[in-house]
Copies of this chain bind each other. A is one copy, B any other.
Amino acid sequence: RVDGKRLWDSLMELAKIGGTPKGGVCRLTLTDLDRQGRDLFISWVRELGCTVRIDPIGNIFARRAGRNPDLPVVQTGSHLDTQPTGGKFDGNYGVLAGLEVLRTLHDANIVTDAPLEVVVWTNEEGSRFVPVMMGSGVFIGEFTLEQALNAVDREGISVREALNAIGYAGTDQVAGQPVDAYFEAHIEQGPILEAEDTVIGVVTGALGQRWYDVELTGVEAHAGPTPMPLRRDALLAAADLITTVNRIANNHAPHARGTVGYMNVHPNSRNVIPGGVTMTVDLRAGDDATLTAMDAELRSACADLNRFGVSSQVSQVVYFPPQPFAPPLVEAVRDGAGALGLSAMDVVSGAGHDAVYMARVAPTAMIFVPCKDGISHNEIEDAKPEHLEAGCNVLLHAMLARAKV
């Protein structure tokens, strides 16, 4: 069993780095605060005798040797970077749960057959540099190291410059090493476990995602003298599209999602009929056939907006196919919860995680624990110590099942 208090104390100590007055954390990727968080993690794993490798995109691999150096590694990990108004647990929990597993084995003098690794992935959040999940994306070859290094933030600073500035432009070539299993513990970031009063979410896979930019063009005109039938109101068309996006997702219940999160109105003046709207659409589904059907429904809804005298332009900017996790690893998580007598249920991850990329190159599974009101990406993000401890015990159990003692 892991030490829940030590896990919690470490989370709280880490949360001081970039801690905000409202109790959240602002530790943007590749800033000096990120460096301090990384340094603290490395000091902790060095105390356990781990070797540390850093690859050229700044991913950190802390390895605890196994009895048999030829066996492929059993990994866990997550990220230390946060949203600008993020919380203490998103990502950080997965890294420190891995640390707590190593500490527990260290205290008990247990040596596994296979080596273990805790990975810190660079820039999962994507708030400062796009694309999101950059470190794991480079690791699995979704995009090239060069593409990632050349990404710039709003100040024009590149990933390359930022990595050098904090001393985390590593030279270790880790990508390509055989991986036996990748586990990631994470807060759920959704409301289901709490609503079901369940401690462990056995994550069977992740929803597929299609993200779009939509541009609507009507004609700007004075709100007073322009009769209703002569209007070409881009915001009225946008309202219709928002309602349709919601209907599309509801028609593909229960695993489909449809969200318009961003909208910009032009000229945005109270007595001017809007001539232009820029908006985003985020569609998610559990299987690719559904996601493809939703894509077609969205595109036909956009074309239909011409009945408002409004033209539309739709461009897809992100595509993640639905990602099932590896059944044997999912089973290991389910077994762990069972062995520990914890309430558990199968869930699907609605959000993207580094595990979603890792699942393309190695057997992968995730462990979810509840978070308060399902809220994350928010300074008020919260989770219960006993739930975090329970998830960490499941992680320990699952990793040992793979790495063998």
Contact = CB atoms under 8 A, between A and B. Distances in A.
Interface of A: 188-192, 195, 207, 209, 211, 220-228, 230, 233, 235-236, 238-240, 242-243, 246, 249-250, 253-254, 256-265, 268-274, 280, 282, 284, 349-352, 374-378
Q: How many copies does the complex hold?
A: 2
A259 B273 contact: yes
Contacts of A377: 222, 272
Of A189, A195, A239, A260, which is in contact with the most chain B CB atoms at under 10 Å from its CB?
A239
A189 B222 contact: yes
A196 to B, nearest CB: 12
A259 B282 contact: no
A189 B254 contact: no
* In the A-B complex, the 7 residue pairs with the closest CB atoms: A190-B225, A224-B350, A225-B350, A224-B351, A239-B242, A223-B259, A270-B280
24 contacts: A189-B224, A190-B222, A192-B225, A192-B227, A220-B378, A221-B374, A225-B351, A227-B257, A228-B250, A228-B253, A233-B246, A235-B263, A236-B260, A238-B239, A239-B242, A243-B243, A259-B271, A260-B274, A261-B265, A261-B273, A262-B268, A262-B269, A271-B282, A272-B377
Contacts of A265: 261-263
A352 B243 contact: no
Given A243-B236, A274-B261, A374 B282 contact: no
A243 B253 contact: no
A375 B209 contact: no
Of A227, A236, A280, A284, which is in contact with the most chain B CB atoms at under 10 Å from its CB?
A227
A353 B258 CA distance: 44
Contact of A228 (B221, B249, B375): B249
B253 A261 contact: no
A226 B253 CA distance: 12
A186 to B, nearest CB: 10
Contact of A225 (B189, B228, B253): B189
Of A221, A264, A274, which is in contact with the most chain B CB atoms at under 10 Å from its CB?
A221
Of A235, A250, A270, A282, which is in contact with the most chain B CB atoms at under 10 Å from its CB?
A270
A192 B223 CA distance: 14
Given A242-B236, A350-B222, A230 B191 contact: yes
Contacts of A272: 261, 377
A383 to B, nearest CB: 14
A354 to B, nearest CB: 14
Nearest to A263: B265
B270 A225 contact: no
A280 B265 CA distance: 12
Nearest to A206: B224
Contacts of A254: 227
Of A224, A240, A258, A351, which is in contact with the most chain B CB atoms at under 10 Å from its CB?
A224
A235 B253 CA distance: 20
Nearest to A260: B235
B261 A269 contact: yes
